[in-house]
Homo-oligomer: A and B are copies of this chain.
Amino acid sequence: MAESASALGLRTVVLAEHPDDSATGVAAEVLAGVPSAADDLKALAARVGVVTFDHEQVDLDLLADLERTGTVVRPGLDTLRMATDKAEMRRRVQAAGLPGPAFAILPAGGGGGGGEAAVAKVEAFAADHGWPVVVKAARGGYDGKGVWPVAGPEEAAEVIRRAVGVPLLVEEQVAIDAELAVLVARRPGGQTVTWTPVETAQVGGVCREVLVPGRLDPDVVAAAAEVGAAVATVAGAVGVLAVEVFWSAGRVLVNEVAARPHNSGHWTIEGAVTSQFENHLRAVLDLPLGSVAATAPAVASVNVFGGPDGADPLARLPEALAVDGAHVHLYGKAPRPGRKLGHVTVCGDDADDVRRRAWAAARALGTPMMEGR
């Protein structure tokens, strides 16, 4: 986002917990602080025209205080509440008549009466929808964390017992034929653009690759785009909204919503006329949104993860950059096995060819293979 801001001549001020956080190397100004501290947020607000986000681990009550004292926060609180609370998101998607998995909201977990009531509610839900079901933390989960598939009442009770004080919901376990991500950018006045939905491959809840276009029928892709744009309207989004959807037994189902530029949209840096980062900035500044047309018939983007040897992918740039057309992005994060450290995008004419090249560069950087590849 800071790279895009620089191109437009905009100054980015970043609130960073650690002096080596990724954005500190490219922001115009760095404030040391955390988004859970009122004073840190106030210091940030005093330096900028608009406050926006690259993650959702932000204290919404403090943000609400900022908004009340005149700071422009985009996306706004209403959108952030929906994006940070799965129960709220499911409720609002359902209320708008948009498709999602069946779900029920549970009392917070932990021992005692709340836990027992939650288990009972899971059992009743499973009676309607069948085991297994999926218990989820309504808040704080990401990349597969806070998601627990449970096969029966005992497993449900165990999950709920451990989730002390965590608001929970239960969902039907959906047979996933494919996963798509729909990226939408929306201005305050409601102008909306939708990039072509992409096919994503997740392993263990973590996105490994993004294919553009995916291998699904154009009708499915069009249906996903429509659902994504509708969710952005329901959310009252300003900026980029990423809607992850399942293609399941002939249905498009809303899975997750993120109110920020998203891993599934990194391909847009080279693969679309306007990237998710630039359109996020344009949207939160209420500037005209840019074209989201693709720049090539086929784009593949593969995430770079730390390999088991803990090597720094930066040291392996020579091998990766030798791959024709490989756009390597490294985030400057300390390497750890399994940590997401970057991504590689390749644009071209042939879907198999760009996927092969993107994987070749990602593997050269130390990324372990994905099962099935």
The answer to whether B11 touches A25 (Cβ under 8 A) is yes
Residue A64 interfacial (CB < 8 Å): no
- In the complex, the answer to whether B321 meets A287 with C-beta atoms within 8 Å is yes
Nearest Cβ in chain B — how far from A225, in angstroms?
20
| Among candidates B3, B8, B321, B327, residue contacting A6 with C-beta atoms closer than 8 Å | B3
Residue A317 is within 8 A (CB to CB) of chain B in the complex: yes
Whether A328 contacts B8 in the complex (CB less than 8 A), given A282-B321, A288-B318, A296-B295, comes out as yes
Residues of B within 8 A of A11 (CB): 25, 332
Nearest CB of chain B from residue A39's CB, rounded to whole Å: 25
Tell me if A325 is interfacial: C-beta within 8 Å of chain B.
Answer: yes
Q: Which B residue sits closest to A28, measured CB to CB?
A: B25
Does A50 count as interface, using CB distance less than 8 angstroms? no
Q: How far is the CA of A24 from the CA of B328 in the complex (A)?
A: 24
Chain A: interface size category: 35 or more
Q: Which residues of B contact A295 (CB under 8 A)?
A: 295-296, 347
This protein's copies in its complex: 2
Expressed in whole angstroms, the Cα–Cα distance for A357 and B137 within the complex equals 49
Asked if A125 is at the interface of the complex by the 8 Å CB criterion, the answer is no
A342: CB under 8 A from chain B?
yes
Which residues from B are CB-within-8-Å of A10? 314
Interface residues of A in 1-43 (CB under 8 A from B): 2-3, 6-12, 24-26, 28
Chain A window 123-159, contacts with chain B (Cβ cutoff 8 Å), 1 for yes, 0 for no = 0000000000000000000000000000000000000
Alpha-carbon gap, A338 to B128, bound state (A): 72
Out of B2, B12, B313, B325, which one reaches A291, CB within 8 Å? B325
Which residues of A (93-145) have their CB < 8 Å from a CB of B? Answer: none
Confirm or deny: A273 has a beta carbon within 8 angstroms of a beta carbon on chain B. yes
Task: Decide: B3 and A330 in contact? CB cutoff 8 A.
Answer: no
A331 at the interface (CB under 8 A from B): yes
What's the Cα separation between A325 and B289 when bound, in Å? 10
Q: Tell me how far the C-beta of A295 lies from the nearest C-beta in chain B, rounded to whole angstroms.
A: 6
| A331 contact set on B, CB distance < 8 A | 9
Query: Judging by beta carbons under 8 Å apart, are A26 and B2 in contact?
Result: yes
B324 touches A8 (CB 8 A): no
When the two chains form their complex, are residues B6 and A2 in contact, meaning their CB atoms are under 8 A apart?
yes
Q: Is A288 in contact with B325, judged by CB distance below 8 angstroms?
A: no
A291 to B354, CA, bound (A): 14
A277-291 interface bits toward B, Cβ cutoff 8 Å, 1 = contact, 0 = none: 000001001011011
Q: How far is the CA of A313 from the CA of B10 in the complex (A)?
A: 11
A329 within 8 A of B: yes
Bound: A235/B2 CA distance, A: 36
**What are the residues of chain B within 8 A of A318 when measuring CB–CB?**
287-288
A269 proximity list for chain B (CB < 8 A): 7
Please name all residues of chain B whose beta carbon is closer than 8 Å to the beta carbon of A285 when the two chains form the complex. 317
Given contacts A26-B28, A295-B295, contact A8 B282 (CB under 8 A): no
Q: How many angstroms between the C-alpha atoms of A318 and B188 in the bound complex?
A: 14
Residue A322, interface by CB 8 Å: yes
Complexed CA–CA distance, A148 and B320 (Å): 49
Not counting A2-B26, A7-B328, a sample of 6 additional A-B residue pairs whose C-beta atoms are within 8 angstroms of each other reads A10-B314, A11-B332, A25-B28, A282-B321, A285-B317, A295-B347
